[in-house]
Amino acid sequence: MKLYPLKFNPVYSYRIWGGEKLKTVLNKTYEEDSIGESWEISDVDGNETTVANGDLAGKTLRQLTEQFKGDFVGNKVYEDFGTDFPLLIKFIDAKTPLSIQVHPSNELAKERHNSFGKNEMWYIMQADKDAELIVGFNQDVEKDAYVKHVENGTLTDILNIEKVERGDTFYIPTGRVHAIGAGVLLAEIQQTSNITYRIYDYNRVDAKTGEMRELHTDMAVDAIDYKFYDDYETAYEVETNASKKLVHSPYFKTNIVEINGEINRDYTNTDSFVIYMCVEGALKLECEAGIYTMNTGETILLPATTTNVKLTSSENTRVLEASL
């Protein structure tokens, strides 16, 4: 059986802060209310996505890696990660703000949870007027001062708040305090991890449980990077019918591809799977295995054996192109 570009059945997650944009803007299909996340490609235990198209329909990422090894994920990726798929791909809709939170580093996550850390990036697909994100601190902070702010309920005084609009991009390394604000729809690419330390949750009661969500203030103290940075937002260039660098980190590389006409992509020297997230417009993808379509809010995974593809669009279409 041959590998081919794979679409997956998303896993939809209820969130206290979730809205309707995954359905109304991205045309996702589900019945529940307050769906905040569409996990597009996931190897997280209990939330594994399965192939939706072709002969491999129903297979999980782990089953695909076990069967095809380096042909699926890339030889170097298979050497480094075995059957653990290294990336988690999501769309997130925040109707109300997420909790203020932080993710532990690889070392801390391994020690405490036997998990990867959670370095991630956000690409803003749509934002309501005056929508905001919290990313990092607005000054260098001492650990003791931070603890006092948490205890006094004045944490937001020292946090960096960014107004956002479509196309804004942020890399969130482990240790960086952050939160998605109300009215933001975004694409998220991250390490495969579900470890989050909540610091503050606006004293909200979850309608499903009738209780406030657990906080992890003590665990967060040792996980936080208390420095101020002046480059929280990622600067990048876009060029029509070209792939341009967006976020390159030790954990994944993401480029932005803008298509109006056609572009050929050659992955002969890319020893990795490649994931496309269509964040604007629609396109046709052609390769040796056949012809595929993608619309805004759809994701497709090219196995490592897919080395040449042609992308065609008759409108301004943007795709996030992620690999290891």
Model confidence pLDDT, tens digit, residues 83-127:
999 999 999 999 999 999 999 998 999 999 988 889 999 999 999
**Each residue's pLDDT tens digit, 264-296:** 999 999 999 999 999 999 999 999 999 999 999
Nearest to 195 by CA among 88, 273, 95: 88
Name the average pLDDT for the chain: 96
Q: Per the domain annotation, does 193 fall within a domain?
A: yes
CATH number of the domain that residue 31 is part of? 2.60.120.10
**Degrees to nearest 5, angle at CA 280 with 238 and 177:** 75
Per-residue pLDDT band for 252 (boundaries 50, 70, 90) equals very high
In contact, 219 and 203? CB cutoff 8 Å: no
Residue 228 falls inside a structural domain = no
DSSP state of 84: S
Residue 2 within a domain: no
87 and 196 inside one domain: yes
Check residue 1 and give its pLDDT: 84
pLDDT band per the 50, 70, 90 thresholds, residue 133: very high
Given a cut of 90, whether residue 255 has pLDDT beyond it is yes
pLDDT at 16 over 90: yes
Single-letter code of the amino acid located at 55:
D
- How far apart CA 69 and CA 41 sit, in angstroms, is 17
237 part of a folded domain? no
Q: What pLDDT is stored for residue 87 in this prediction?
A: 97
**Residue range 171-175: average pLDDT?**
97
pLDDT at residue 208, rounded to an integer: 87
Which amino acids are annotated catalytic?
198
- Both 190 and 286 in one domain: the answer is no
Mean pLDDT of 223-247: 97
Whether residue 169 is found in the same domain as residue 246? no
Q: What pLDDT score does 233 carry?
A: 98
Residue for token pair 């997956």: 8
The number of folded domains in the chain is: 2
Residue-range definition of the domain harbouring residue 293: 242-323
C-alpha angle 243-73-116 in degrees, rounded to nearest 5: 95
Q: What angle do CA 311, 2, 313 make, to 5 degrees?
A: 10
Q: Radius of gyration (Cα) for the chain, nearest Å?
A: 20
90 and 44 in one domain?
Answer: yes
Length of the chain: 324
